[in-house]
Structure 1
Amino acid sequence: MNDNVENLLLEHMKRFQASLDRMERRLDEMSARMTTLEGSVVSIMQHLTNLSAADAAQQISIDNINRRLDRIERRLELTN
């Protein structure tokens, strides 16, 4: 009877270990995926920063063009 109990416990421990191994592999996989996602988020944030910088540069150019246009209109007396 004692051998049966030991065998039963051993089988349960093996199943527990196999389950734990699967969970560890899954956790490693999820950690790798999280690292990939974090890298993607950083890349997106850098891209948005570059777009914001380009937008600001374009707005400065538009403002300069508007000032020049206003000055040209004043010199030609085209303003109301």
Structure 2
Amino acid sequence: MTDTGNIVPEYLRHIRNAVDDVREDMREVKTRLGILENRYAGLSGRLDRLDSRVERIETRLNLAEA
């Protein structure tokens, strides 16, 4: 017969270690996602400015429809 008194704490330690690993991974994922969001925001702003510049060029060259 096995001693369940020793097995339970062992399983709990294993679960705690697994949760700690997941927590660490989630921190990394959140950090990387934040970096991606910042880069996307910067790129989006640049594309908006580029779009307005192209519209101005089209208007000056009479290429834009009214």
Larger relative contact order (Cα-Cα within 8 Å, sequence gap ≥ 6)? 2
Where do 5+ consecutive residues of structure 1 fail to align?
Answer: 64-80
Cα-Cα RMSD = 1.7
Partner of 2:7: 8
- % identical aligned pairs: 16
Partner of 1:22: 21
* Runs of 4+ off more than 3 Å: none
Distance 1:47 1:41 in 2: 10
Aligned residues: 62
Distance 1:34 1:61 in 2: 41
Normalising by structure 1, we get a TM-score of 0.68
Where do 5+ consecutive residues of structure 2 fail to align?
Answer: none
